[in-house]
Amino acid sequence: MAFAPDFFAQALNGLAYGVLLFLLSVGLTLIFGMLDVVNLAHGSFYMLGAYAGLTLIGATGSFWIALLLAPLLVGGIGALLERVCLRPLYGRPPLDQVLLTFGFIYLFEDLVKWIWGGRIRSIPPPDLFKGSVTLFGATIPSYRLFVIAFGLAVAVLLWLLIERTRLGAIIRAGVFDAEMTAGLGINIHRVFTAVFAFGAALGGLSGVIAGPIQSAYPAMGAGILIPALIVVVVGGLGSLKGSLAGSLIIGQAETFGKAWLPDSAMLIIYVVMALVVLLRPQGLFGRPLK
């Protein structure tokens, strides 16, 4: 294969993976910014999204209905988790909240095994994007192009939502100082639940989107959690810009690592992370620590 088309194909693969990571990590970063909780069960929402998508596609025959409904379902699960289990812990040391979400990784993974079985289930891409296209001499599955366009569209919508709407203003205020926001007459508890549910729904959305590329299997949630955590460490926890930049960097690092240094590919994203921690502990776009 010629160098330039190969390079181009890898870059697009990396971009598709980066966009997926963005959809996932943006929820993680929003939840942290608002609730001060590192939601270790975030990978589980991704997994639940993929499985909900699988079942909904089977039931309705339409990828698009699944893409709409599965995130709502996962968001509902997120809202329930926040309302029932996380809220009683807000007065306690932050560690307890992290430990709680850690426990939910086990719970969700085993529940999925129980309901859907342990084997890998492939998810077909929608009919519209079944083929592939040739761009600059490289053959690209058209579904990857859809993922990239869809992810970037979501990024723009998110930016508009947070920077240009009243709800976004409330969220930004809550991230800055939740207590003060409550003092201004905002029902901050309801906002907490809403943000957690929204983040969970984004996680679910990324799971549905990832389904046709990565299939669905029970360990996928814990597996994607680590790259997502690395993204927020690199980009800076609590920053949307950082989440986008971190995702694109890690997406490219992982994809090019696999192509060029197959023996040590899995180490590359850790090297990137270690470098960032060494040179800029708060991440590329994070607020300074302490």
Partner 1 sequence: MSPARRAVVLVALGLGVLAVAAFPWVAGNYPVKLLQEILIWGIFAMSLDLLMGYAGMVSFGHSAFFGIGGYVAALALKQSAGVVSALVLPALASGLAALVIGFFSIRVGGVYFIMLTLAFSQMFHAYTFQVAWLGAEDGLVGIPRPTVAGVSLATTRSFHLYLLVLAGLAALALWRIVRSPFGHVLRGIRENEARMEAVGYAVGRYKLLAFTVAGTLAGLAGALYAQFNGSITPDAFFWTTSGEALLMVIIGGVGTLGGAVLGAAAFILLQSLVSTYTERWMLILGLTFVGFVLFAPGGIVGALRGRLGLRA
Task: Report how far residue 261's alpha carbon sits from residue 257's, in angstroms, rounded to the nearest whole number.
Answer: 5
For the bound state, the minimum distance from the C-beta of residue 54 to partner 1, rounded and expressed in Å, comes to 21
DSSP string, 168-226: HHHHHHHHH-HHHHHHTT--HHHHHHHHHHHHHHHHHHHHHHHHHHH-B-TTHHHHHHH
| Residue among 56 and 81 whose Cβ is closer to partner 1 | 81
277 binds partner 1 (CB under 8 A): yes
For the bound state, the minimum distance from the C-beta of residue 84 to partner 1, rounded and expressed in Å, comes to 9
Tokens 């930004």 found at = 172
According to DSSP, residue 119 is labeled S
Of 69-77, 202-210, 242-250, 277-285, the segment contacting partner 1 by CB under 8 A is: 277-285
Site string for partner 1, 212-251 (x = CB under 8 A): ----------x---x--xx-xx---x--------------
**Candidate list 68, 153, 180, 267; residue touching partner 1; CB under 8 A:** 267
For the bound state, the minimum distance from the C-beta of residue 38 to partner 1, rounded and expressed in Å, comes to 4
DSSP string, 121-182: B--PPPGGGSSEEEETTEEEEHHHHHHHHHHHHHHHHHHHHHHHSHHHHHHHHHHH-HHHHH
List all residues 6 or more positions away from 157 whose beta carbon is below 8 Å from its beta carbon. Answer: none
How long is the chain?
Answer: 290
Please give the structure tokens belonging to residue 250. 């890690």
For the bound state, the minimum distance from the C-beta of residue 222 to partner 1, rounded and expressed in Å, comes to 6
For the bound state, the minimum distance from the C-beta of residue 87 to partner 1, rounded and expressed in Å, comes to 11
Task: Report how far residue 58's alpha carbon sits from residue 55's, in angstroms, rounded to the nearest whole number.
Answer: 5
Q: Is 41 exposed, middle or buried (0-12, 13-18, 19+ CB in 10 A)?
A: buried
List all residues 6 or more positions away from 265 whose beta carbon is below 8 Å from its beta carbon. Answer: 254, 257, 258
Please give the structure tokens belonging to residue 161. 């939502």
For the bound state, the minimum distance from the C-beta of residue 43 to partner 1, rounded and expressed in Å, comes to 10
**Candidate list 120, 137, 274, 287; residue touching partner 1; CB under 8 A:** 274
Of 8-16, 67-75, 163-171, 267-275, the segment contacting partner 1 by CB under 8 A is: 267-275
Interface with partner 1: number of residues (CB under 8 A): 43
- What residues between 84 and 143 interact with partner 1 by CB under 8 A? 85, 88-89, 92, 94-96, 98-100, 102-111, 113-114
Residues that bind partner 1 (CB under 8 A): 32, 38, 40, 85, 88-89, 92, 94-96, 98-100, 102-111, 113-114, 222, 226, 229-230, 232-233, 237, 263, 266-267, 270, 273-274, 277-278, 281, 289-290
